[in-house]
Structures are given as structure tokens and as C-alpha cells.
Structure 1
Amino acid sequence: MDIRPPTILIVDDTPENLSVLGELLQPTYRVRAANSGKRAIQIAMADPTPDLILLDVMMPEMDGFEVLGELKASGVTRNIPVIFVTAMDGTSDEERGLDLGAVDYITKPIRPSIVLARVRTQLELKAARDFLSNQNAFLENEVARRMHENQLIQEVSIHALARLAETRDPETGKHLRRTQEYILTLAKRLCQHPRFAHYLDQRTINALVQSAPLHDIGKVGIPDHVLLKPGKLTPEEWEIMKTHAELGSNAIAQAEADADKPVEFLAIAKMIARSHHEKWDGSGYPDGLAGDDIPIAARLMALADVFDALTCKRVYKPAFSFEHAHRIILDGKGIHFDPDIVEAFVCDFETFVAIAKAYAE
């Protein structure tokens, strides 16, 4: 395999100096030369990018300090090591060059052994830095790939469980996707609200959307004669139906207990499954929670779930118009629903309609 030697750019306005450095370096390295600062920058920006630059300080038009400043200002060239080569021997000039980002300082007249040693050292250091940078980039990409893979597996698993519930209640169709989008819409609207900002950060919003499909997972435990009844439920059957909230919460709680460490979306899914039928005035189930005692996640799900149920056809009712559903939600403000969540719904009503149409049955 042909491995190309490192490329070194030498910059000096004196042809004799370019010749001396070129003859010294060419047996081992690929050498490019520039006789001005402007030309040096052009070459440094071109492909192949130099692995090292030997830069004269005292040059007309652009001196070495100005050239180094330009190199450090560009993302293409800022990481190229630069060694100053100069006749100046003042400590302040050397300090200035090093402060600007030069890696070393060689004084003229040059001594071949010193130049070769320092060039070799800087190229070895650059090779080590490049290797570490490439390794870090590889590791970061690998971590990102595996996190994405784990996220995908998690999402597929959630939807598989939710679809299991759907097989018992076939009328729900695209209900899962719609309610996810409704919750996301409400959360985005409320994330800056004084009552919700402490809870609705981006991480929690993501977990909310992820866990929403599990809200009715407890329906897998409801007998067919109740769950699939085409007409109105009797009081006794309704009491059985209401147990799906606790059944779902308990199932998710068991999954939590089986996990090696807390899983954020499961904790949220458990709250939603148990409490999304609670009502603001305390008349809901299974715990009769009221007001702020109802978890925020469940309050968001409550409105999303009801809006979807209202606007979709069921065996026991036709689909209501969006305007009719809007009025029912408004009538439930402060009774069924958190008043501020209703206000968010009103603000984003057109988005709700668009979601319902985009994911219609």
C-alpha cells in the first residue's frame, strides 16, 4: 500500500531560504513552497492540506504573525501546526508567535539537524492528535448509532405492546399516532407556561410522546363481552371497564420492577395509564384525584384522548364534527380538564384538526 509522505509548506520571501529548506526536507517529505503570505494561505486552503507549515516572520505585505492569524481563523487550516522560522531572536517576538498558536520557533541561520528533529517531532505529535481525533469521532458515531438503535428497539417494543391492546379494541386504528401528536402539540404550547415549565423540558416531552401509546394497555385485561359490546354498557359493565386504568398501571409497574434501573418513559407511561381518566373536579377514576394532584402527563393525555374519541366513529356513536368536539372540550374547562390545558388546545385547535385529518382512519 502506497502511503504518501507528509506534506510540508515552507513560506519565505527569500528564494535562497526556500531553496535551502526545500533541499533539506525533500528527501523525506513532500514540499510545497510559497514566497508570500497571501500565496501561503492559498496553498494551505487547497488540497492536500499541509501537515506542517514552516513560516518566515519578516515578510512584506503580510508578515508571519498576520498569516498565522488568518490560518487560525479558518476551520480548514486552524489545526495545521506552524513553526516560525526567523532571524529575530527577541523573546517578546517568540512569545507573541507562541501566543498566536505557533507550536515552535526556529532561528536563522538554520541548523539542519535541529530543523529535521523539530519537524519530525511536530509531525509525530500531529499524527497522534489526528489518530485520537479520528478515534473520538468513531466512538462518538458508534455511541450515537447504538443509542439510535436502542431508541428504535424501545419505540418498536412500545408500539408492539400498544398494538396488542388495539387487537382487543379494533376501532382505535390510528388513535395511537393521533394522540401522540396531540400531546406533543399541547406540550410545545405549554413548555414556557409558568405552571408547566418546570416539568415540560425537552427530555420529558420526548418521554411523554414515547409513552403515550401505552395509555390504554390495560384494556387487554377487559373481557370481550364488555370491551367489544356494541351498545351502551350497564353500570356493572362500566365498573369492569374502568379497571383498565389500574390494570395498565400495574402491568407497567411490574415492567419497572423487572428493569435493572429506573426507566423514565415507563414512569410516565404508568402515570398516564392510571390517571388519564381522572377529572379536574375530582369526579374521575380510579383514584378520584382533583386539580394539580393529577399528574401533568395524565392531564395532557385526558384532553388528547377525549378529543380523539369525540371526533372518531365508534360502534356506540357517530364521529362528532371538530367544532362540536371543540365546544365539548370548552364546556369541560375546569370540570373535566385543566383550564390552562384547555387554553392551549384553543390556541392550537387548527393544529389538532390538521393532525386528525392527516391521520384519519
Structure 2
Amino acid sequence: MVERSTSVLIVDDNAESRLTISSLLKPHYRVFVATGGKQALDICAKKRPDIVLLDIMMPEMDGYEVCERLMSDPSTTDIPVIFLTAKSQIEDEQRGFEVGAVDYIQKPVSPPILLSRINTHLKLKRAVRELEEQNEHLEERVKERTYELEMLQDATISAMASLAETRDNETGNHIRRTQNYVKVLAEELVNMGHYADELTPEAIELLHKSAPLHDIGKVGIPDEVLLKPGKLTREEFEVMKYHTTLGRAVLMAVEDSIDFSCEFLTLAKEIAYSHQEKWDGSGYPEGLSGTDIPLSARLMALADVYDALICERVYKPAFPHEKALEIIAEGRGTHFEPLIVEAFLNVEHVFGEIASTYRDEGFDEETFNFHSEEE
């Protein structure tokens, strides 16, 4: 039998019926008694009985209404209700189940049947609660595991991106800066009313995560080309251009190793392969133009150029922030999509803040004193 701490509420306006049922149940359960519907609802709200035995024919508020109210209240909807009634028509039983009762027992009540039914429904309730607790536990474990996998994914992305970074030790925090530039640009485009269907919050987050892989193909570029402290020859530039194709090939190999579609890898491939394309078609590797260039790559194109301009490289000194703004503005409609340049100019101060936050060793703070003397 169920533990004595389990409580049962008896709701019946007939004193003899209440006494009979109470005497039967008290050896096994804590018993609450209500003489009408309003009192029953009050007891359920305050005492939270484990199960309710409910008469149907009562004055003021009948059992059907009491049950409906219990089932409509989130705090009592999980309390099983068993109707105890002299009403024996099939229609009466049907309505009882429709309003939410779990069982329907006709009076006069058989003690063994009543005890058995109560015990059965309490066991069901306990099983449901245990199942819900297990589901909650599983959901928590899934959340924890998902978080762990996301952290592992981010660490793997960072490690892969760092492969390219270590080949060119002057890029420093380049991948961290550019991924934040891309995110800021994408968010500003949406704020301006553009590309909202493509740049959903989820898509922007994927862009932020995939952007660090834009130069992964540099792992295959020879040092004498990648680290050359001067202008590349035509032949050397052709070798350098190949990093876009290599980058896509690396990511395609990863994609081929899994048996499901991955939007993150799709974006990473777009960015790695097409971030050197130009709006007017003069870029590489395919000479794409306009919106034939994936949006992800168009965003990365500006982010990558800005960072190259404001950072020292083996082949050039660092330009001041204001000079970088000027160069990018001049590239509107040729190198860069006009809308993306407009977005950049709206948030150029945020770019400066990102550059300062993720600055390389030897970074000159004055380079980003972009709140100029004109203010």
C-alpha cells in the first residue's frame, strides 16, 4: 500500500458518504474532507492532495465544474480526480472523462475496488512524475553535452584557423578581429533593413564561428611566397591566390567525412573560397561579381581588407584607422558591395574598438584614436 504520508481529498455533500469513505481510507492515507466545490478548490490550492475523490451531484458547484477548474489551473492540473457518484448513465461517465477525470466509480462504493483504484492511479501519477524528472535530467544532460560539443567545435575551429596563423606570425589576433568585424557588419545590415531573411540571428552566429577559417588554405602556401617582405611577382601571386582553392578543399574533405549536411561548413567553404572576390568582378579565384559572390564572402572581404590595412605586415606598415576608412570608402562599388561599405561606415567606431580589444603585440593605440581632433 501507498505510504501514510500520501493524502486524499474526499469531496461530498453527504455526511454519511464522507464518513464511510474517510473511515475506509484513514488507515492508509492522510485524509482531507470538503463538503462542497469551493471548499474543495481551496483545499487543493493550499494542501495539494495527491488524489481527489469527487462527488458529482453537489449544490452550488457540481463535480464536473470542480474538475474542470482543477484541470485548468497549472498548479492542480496534475492531481488525479476520481468521480464517485450514483449517476450511472454512459453519458455521465463520458462527460466525467471529458472534463479530465482519470476514473469513474459508481456508488455504493466497493471498498476493495476503491482502494485498488486509488492505489493504481497514485502509482501512475508517481510513474509520470518520475518519468518527467528523468526527462528533465536527460534534457539537462543534453544541454550540458551540447555545450561541451559546441566548446569542442569552437576549440577545433580555433585550432584549425591557428594553423594558418602560425604560418604567418604577424597576423596575431587577425582571426579574432575579423570574425567580430563580420558579425558587427551583418548585424548593422539587418538594422539598416537589408538581408534580414539571410542574416537571421542563427546565421550571424554561424558566420561568426566560421569566419576564422577564411585563410585556412594558407597552410599550403610556401614560406617564400607567404612571408615575402615585398611585392609578389606575377608567378608568386598566382601561388598566393591558390590559398582560396586549398581552403575550400580542406573544408570539403571535412564535409565528405560526415554523413549529414552542415550549414557551418557551407558558410566556411563560401568564405574560404570567395573572400578575395571583388564586387566589380576583378577578384579571384573565379572573378565573380555582384551578388553572385556569396554574402558571407562579401562581408569577409571588407573585414579582411580593413584588418590588413590597420595592421603591420611584412610587406607594409600599419595605416591609421582614418586612412583605412578612406581606402574602403573608395572601394565602394568596385572592391566592396556599396551596402556593406555603408554599414561599415555606420559602425566604423566599433571596428576600432574591436581592433583595440584584440590588438597584436606592438599595437600602437594612437593608430585607433579615431575620435579625431575635430570633435
Shorter-chain TM range is 0.7 to 0.9
Q: CA separation in 1, counterparts of 2:179 and 2:204? A: 11
Shift of 1:112: 1.8
2:245 equivalent in structure 1: 246
1:343 equivalent in structure 2: 342
Letter in 1 for 2:83: F
Q: CA separation in 1, counterparts of 2:349 and 2:95? A: 62
Shift of 1:3: 6.6
Task: Between 271-280 and 202-211, report the one with greater CA deviation.
Answer: 202-211
- Give secondary structure in 1 for the equivalent of 2:332: coil
Shift of 1:80: 1.7
Root-mean-square deviation (Å): 3.2
Task: Between 181-190 and 297-306, report the one with greater CA deviation.
Answer: 181-190
Shift of 1:216: 0.8
Shift of 1:273: 0.9
1:225 equivalent in structure 2: 224
2:81 equivalent in structure 1: 82
The equivalences for 1:273-284 within 5 A come to 273-284=272-283
Shift of 1:214: 0.6
Q: CA separation in 2, counterparts of 1:210 and 1:104? A: 55
Letter in 2 for 1:23: S
Q: CA separation in 2, counterparts of 1:298 and 1:160? A: 21
2:370 equivalent in structure 1: none
Q: CA separation in 2, counterparts of 1:311 and 1:44? A: 69
Whether 1:320 aligns to 2:320 is yes
> Deviations along 1:280-300, whole A, 9 cap, x unmatched?
101111221111221222112
Instruction: Sort the Cα spacing of 1:174 and 1:74 in 2 relative to 1 into closer, same or farther, 3 A.
Output: farther
Whether 1:145 aligns to 2:132 is no
2:21 equivalent in structure 1: 21
> Deviations along 1:102-146, whole A, 9 cap, x unmatched?
222334443323322322332233234334333433443333333
Instruction: Sort the Cα spacing of 1:276 and 1:67 in 2 relative to 1 into closer, same or farther, 3 A.
Output: same
> Deviations along 1:152-191, whole A, 9 cap, x unmatched?
2222111111112211222323222222222223333446
2:207 equivalent in structure 1: 208
Q: CA separation in 2, counterparts of 1:290 and 1:262? A: 27
Shift of 1:82: 1.1
Instruction: Sort the Cα spacing of 1:74 and 1:283 in 2 relative to 1 into closer, same or farther, 3 A.
Output: same
- Give secondary structure in 2 for the equivalent of 1:142: helix
Task: State TM-score, norm by structure 2.
Answer: 0.81
- Give secondary structure in 2 for the equivalent of 1:171: coil
Shift of 1:101: 1.3
Q: Is the 8 A contact 2:213 2:272 kept in 1?
A: yes
Q: CA separation in 2, counterparts of 1:354 and 1:18? A: 75
Count of residue correspondences? 358
- Give secondary structure in 2 for the equivalent of 1:154: helix
2:170 equivalent in structure 1: 171
Instruction: Sort the Cα spacing of 1:86 and 1:277 in 2 relative to 1 into closer, same or farther, 3 A.
Output: same
2:365 equivalent in structure 1: none
Q: CA separation in 1, counterparts of 2:42 and 2:230? A: 80
Whether 1:68 aligns to 2:73 is no
Q: CA separation in 1, counterparts of 2:5 and 2:255? A: 57
1:300 equivalent in structure 2: 299
Shift of 1:306: 1.8
Q: CA separation in 1, counterparts of 2:94 and 2:3? A: 36
Q: CA separation in 1, counterparts of 2:67 and 2:349? A: 56
Letter in 2 for 1:78: T
Instruction: Sort the Cα spacing of 1:103 and 1:3 in 2 relative to 1 into closer, same or farther, 3 A.
Output: closer
Whether 1:188 aligns to 2:187 is yes
Letter in 1 for 2:69: E
Instruction: Sort the Cα spacing of 1:291 and 1:104 in 2 relative to 1 into closer, same or farther, 3 A.
Output: same
Task: Between 281-290 and 88-97, report the one with greater CA deviation.
Answer: 88-97
The equivalences for 1:247-286 within 5 A come to 247-286=246-285
1:11 equivalent in structure 2: 11
Instruction: Sort the Cα spacing of 1:61 and 1:358 in 2 relative to 1 into closer, same or farther, 3 A.
Output: farther
The equivalences for 1:27-66 within 5 A come to 27-46=27-46, 49-59=48-58, 63-66=62-65
Q: CA separation in 2, counterparts of 1:302 and 1:203? A: 21
Instruction: Sort the Cα spacing of 1:187 and 1:57 in 2 relative to 1 into closer, same or farther, 3 A.
Output: farther
Task: State TM-score, norm by structure 1.
Answer: 0.84
2:367 equivalent in structure 1: none
Structure 1, unaligned runs of 5 or more: none
Instruction: Sort the Cα spacing of 1:327 and 1:78 in 2 relative to 1 into closer, same or farther, 3 A.
Output: farther
1:288 equivalent in structure 2: 287
- Give secondary structure in 2 for the equivalent of 1:110: coil
Q: CA separation in 2, counterparts of 1:62 and 1:123? A: 26
Whether 1:162 aligns to 2:161 is yes
Q: Taking every aligned residue pair, what percent have the same amino acid on both sides?
A: 52
Instruction: Sort the Cα spacing of 1:14 and 1:347 in 2 relative to 1 into closer, same or farther, 3 A.
Output: farther
- Give secondary structure in 2 for the equivalent of 1:129: helix
> Deviations along 1:234-290, whole A, 9 cap, x unmatched?
444433332222222222222223334443322321221111010010111122111
Q: CA separation in 2, counterparts of 1:326 and 1:39? A: 74
